[in-house]
Structure 1
Amino acid sequence: MLKTHGIVGLLISATLGLSGCMSNSYQAFIKPGASVDRTNQDQVACSVEANKLFPAANFPQTTPYGNVGYYGGGWGWGVGIVHTTDVNSGMRNQHRAQCMQLKGYKPVSFPICTQQQLAGRSYAPLTRAPAQSDNICAIKIDGGGRALVDITKPL
């Protein structure tokens, strides 16, 4: 759809990571007057700090499934599923959010733009933090991620 070098706010990983499904809102950090570049720089700084303080701590766990049965030469249990759990992810996400708030950002939820709102028109991503309004929503951008647009200002 649109290419951009950054987005007004970045996803709050904890919110999206826990949802596990398509969300109808976009979580961003907004600071009045902050540019996309400044917001991205602050987000990176907070993420680096959080990763240093709370590094990934993945622990493998096996969840057995199946029943006792005959498996190609002997009786036994079915195969298990191995997955990992990062026990520090919650603390990392919380630290990122607190770091951004200490830098003057406020977490804000914006709706995802509907097809009816877009009506086939193109929009330029906002380059400055917007005030929350019914005209602001998030679109998907090329390369992944989201950008905020003002639906009253099509290209």
Structure 2
Amino acid sequence: MSRMPLFLALGLTAAATGCAPLSLYHKPGVAVVQMDGDLTQCQVSALSKVPVNTQIRTTPIQTFPRTVCDRHGRCYTSVEIMGGQTYTVDANKRLRDKVEAQCMAEKGYAPVELPQCSSAISNAAPKAVTTVLPRLAPTSCVIRNADGSWQIVTPG
């Protein structure tokens, strides 16, 4: 499994992300707007260094012979064919993501994944939006707001 972090844009809605953890680059004390700008710069840089390489591929074709006999003993054989679907893949995506991660690391960020806060924590926390990345603890979690924004909370 790839260690590649999954980056969520600030504009995603809570419905689109559900209860999934929040994955982002983190650097304590940095404004979320600055982190987002740094990420965009690194994404553009990575794209220029490792451009999209779209390849067309086809799933393997498999054949399955099938024999059916009627009540008079006459048998017919047909062949069922599965596969052969065409799809595209960006062969450079993993490398581009790695270059992006290196760029963010050079800026002092580390990839983190924060779990969704429990409903008890969400109900107890004052409603807010994280604008500056806080220090994290093992108990840190995220509250997703209805407008797609989020709040990092560290209970205790």
| TM-score scaled by length of structure 2 | 0.66
C-alpha RMSD over aligned residues: 3.2
For these two proteins, the number of residue pairs brought into alignment is 132
- What residue number does 1:148 align with? 151
Shift in Å, 1:63: 0.7
Whether contact under 8 Å (1:58, 1:84) holds in the other structure is yes
Q: Which has the larger radius of gyration?
A: 2
Q: Which of the numbers 9, 14, 35 marks the counterpart of 2:4?
A: 14
Per-residue CA deviations over 1:110-135 (Å, capped at 9, x if unaligned) read 22223343248762121111111255
Asked whether the 8 Å contact 1:67–1:78 carries over to 2, the reply is yes
CA drift at 1:97: 0.8
Alpha-carbon distance change, 143 to 67 in structure 1, aligned in 2, over 3 angstroms: farther
The sequence identity of aligned pairs, in percent, is 27
2:26 to 21, 25, 30: 30
2:57 aligned with 1:61: yes
Question: Which residue in the other structure is 1:132 paired with?
Answer: 136
Deviation at 1:51, TM superposition (A): 0.8
Say which SS state the counterpart of residue 15 (structure 1) adopts: coil
The 3 A distance-change label for structure 1 pair 110 and 45 is same
Does structure 2 conserve the Cα–Cα contact (< 8 Å) formed by 1:112 and 1:139? Answer: yes
CA contact (8 A) 2:31 2:131 kept: yes
Structure 2, unaligned runs of 5 or more: 8-17, 67-77
| Alpha-carbon distance, 1:100 to partner | 0.8
Mapped pair 1:94 → 2:98: yes
| Aligned with residue 37 of structure 2, among 21, 41, 48 | 41
Q: Which runs of 5+ in 1 are unaligned?
A: 1-12
Q: Could you tell me how far 1:143 is from its partner in structure 2?
A: 6.1
C-alpha distance after superposition, 1:20-73 (max 9, x if no partner):
xx8853322122211011111101000000111111111111114552569xxx
Q: Is the 8 A contact 1:34 1:129 kept in 2?
A: yes
The 8 Å contact of residues 63 and 80 in structure 1, kept in 2 or not, is answered as: yes
CA distance in 2, matches of 1:135, 1:78: 48
Cα distance in 1 for partners of 2:147, 2:97 equals 23
